[in-house]
């Protein structure tokens, strides 16, 4: 017993058991449905590859839901599996830090805050943020193991798979494609491992493990749906900001090809009782409108215009009349081009979002 109590893994396991108990008692492990949940469930429905790649949700979380959900239990297994995967990632992180530092107790000190991290508030929520954190911890743990000098192919694949899974779950995590190689080079250099030539070869290998899957996936989307990127949502996200600043002055000054969509954005916001943003407006009021700008204003407006006259839309975007790109891609591109045109006319309003 004394030997068990003297091992850091015992205390990490105890921490995890206590965390799980608190989570189970406080809120149970019942799935929490939020407004975003419906869109991920829609994306998880059976469909073709083109439909999956064209959807405004990336493929990671819908794929996870398809694997986990059952007709009998629905979403019930999801929270427990999410929490279990998170705890497993903590054990891997402990092992990686122990290999790096040479101290199991130092690794325990580095790992102990993670079961109580803020991300745990998302543990039972049916959206991808929590699993994206799991994938990130997994990728960084494998990176640390590579830095320690382990050349096992498992860790190379772990880095590539963890980074890929992270941005497929949460597209904002695409920054890991560049950050992970930079972190790896910095840590390996600080350890003084090998000469410059060896470091260069290792760095090129690491960069390839994160960049090549990214380029291959984006290339696949370019070939199949006509869009190079992780998901067709960048223009839609930008519309969440741009819709707030559309007023009569902006509409009048816009190029003709963007005026119809801008008018629809302004009209739909007016129907919701919202005024255009001014320079002296309380920015937090408009932060609160961001999601509604996307799902109740921008996307419905773009969808309606595409249904009315798709030919005019594809001509505006410089595409041929017969262009077969899916509607989701067309609408995202239209929202992106119009939003950029709007924000060019209201740069000071846009800068307020960064204060």
For the stretch 30-57, pLDDT in tens is 899 998 899 999 999 988 888 899 999 9
For residue 333, the tally of other CB atoms under 10 A from its CB is 24
Please tell me the distance from the alpha carbon of residue 242 to that of residue 262, in angstroms, as a whole number. Answer: 9
Token pair 């999410």 in the structure block, residue: 82
User: pLDDT above 90 covers what percent of the chain?
Assistant: 50
Q: Quick check: 115 and 90 in contact, CB under 8 A?
A: yes
pLDDT range class, residue 319, cuts 50, 70, 90:
low
Helix (H) or strand (E) holding 53: helix 49-54
Q: Quick check: 325 and 225 in contact, CB under 8 A?
A: yes
Q: Quick check: 139 and 122 in contact, CB under 8 A?
A: no
Mean pLDDT across the stretch 235-240? 90
pLDDT at 195: 75
Cα angle 239, 178, 146 (rounded to 5 degrees) comes to 145
Cα angle 156, 158, 161 (rounded to 5 degrees) comes to 110
Q: Quick check: 199 and 188 in contact, CB under 8 A?
A: yes
* Radius of gyration of the CA atoms of the chain, in A: 24
Which of 99-103, 118-122, 164-168 reaches the highest mean pLDDT? Answer: 164-168
Please tell me the distance from the alpha carbon of residue 160 to that of residue 295, in angstroms, as a whole number. Answer: 33
Mean pLDDT across the stretch 7-31? 84
pLDDT range class, residue 287, cuts 50, 70, 90:
confident
**What's this model's pTM, rounded to 2 decimal places?**
0.88
pLDDT range class, residue 174, cuts 50, 70, 90:
very high
Q: What is the DSSP string of 73-131?
A: TBTTHHHHHHHHHHHHHHHHHHHHHHHHHS-HHHHHHHHTTGGGSGGGGGTTBSSTHHH
Q: Quick check: 332 and 225 in contact, CB under 8 A?
A: no
pLDDT at 29: 84
Domain ranges of the chain: 2-225, 234-352
Closest to 336 in 3D by CA, of 227, 215, 176: 227
pLDDT at 90: 95
pLDDT at 46: 86
Which positions ≥6 away from 312 have C-beta within 8 Å?
none
Average pLDDT, the chain: 87
Mean pLDDT across the stretch 191-209? 84
Mean pLDDT across the stretch 205-219? 96
For residue 22, the tally of other CB atoms under 10 A from its CB is 13
């Amino acid at each position: 017993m004394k030997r068990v109590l003297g091992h850091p893994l015992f205390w990490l396991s105890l921490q995890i058991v206590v965390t799980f108990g608190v989570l189970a008692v406080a809120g149970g492990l019942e799935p929490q449905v939020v407004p975003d949940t419906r869109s991920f469930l829609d994306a998880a429905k059976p469909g073709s590859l083109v439909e999956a790649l064209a959807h405004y949700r990336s493929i990671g979380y819908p794929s996870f839901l398809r694997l986990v959900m059952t007709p009998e239990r629905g979403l019930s297994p999801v929270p427990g599996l999410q929490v279990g995967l998170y705890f497993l990632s903590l054990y891997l992180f402990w092992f990686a830090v122990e290999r790096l530092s040479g101290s199991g107790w130092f690794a325990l000190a580095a790992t102990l805050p993670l079961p109580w991290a803020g991300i745990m508030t998302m543990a039972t929520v049916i959206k991808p943020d929590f699993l994206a954190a799991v994938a990130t911890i997994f990728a960084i743990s494998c990176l640390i193991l590579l830095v320690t000098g382990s050349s096992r192919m498992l860790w190379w694949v772990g880095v590539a798979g963890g980074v890929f899974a992270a941005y497929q779950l949460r597209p904002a995590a695409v920054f890991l494609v560049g950050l992970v190689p930079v972190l790896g080079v910095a840590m390996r250099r600080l350890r003084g491992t090998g000469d410059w030539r060896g470091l260069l070869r290792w760095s090129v290998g690491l960069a390839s493990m994160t960049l090549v899957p990214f380029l291959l996936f984006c290339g696949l989307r370019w070939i199949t749906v006509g869009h190079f990127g992780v998901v067709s949502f960048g223009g839609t996200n930008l519309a969440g900001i741009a819709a707030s600043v559309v007023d009569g002055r902006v509409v009048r000054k816009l190029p003709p090809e963007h005026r119809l969509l801008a008018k629809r954005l302004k009209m739909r916001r007016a129907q919701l009782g919202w005024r255009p943003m001014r320079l002296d407006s309380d920015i937090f009021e408009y932060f609160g409108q961001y999601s509604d700008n996307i799902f109740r204003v921008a996307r419905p407006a773009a969808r309606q215009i595409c249904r009315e006259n798709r030919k005019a839309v594809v001509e505006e975007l410089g595409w041929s009349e017969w262009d077969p790109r899916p509607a989701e891609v067309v609408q995202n591109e239209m929202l992106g081009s119009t939003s950029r045109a709007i924000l060019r006319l209201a740069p000071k309003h846009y800068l307020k979002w960064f204060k």
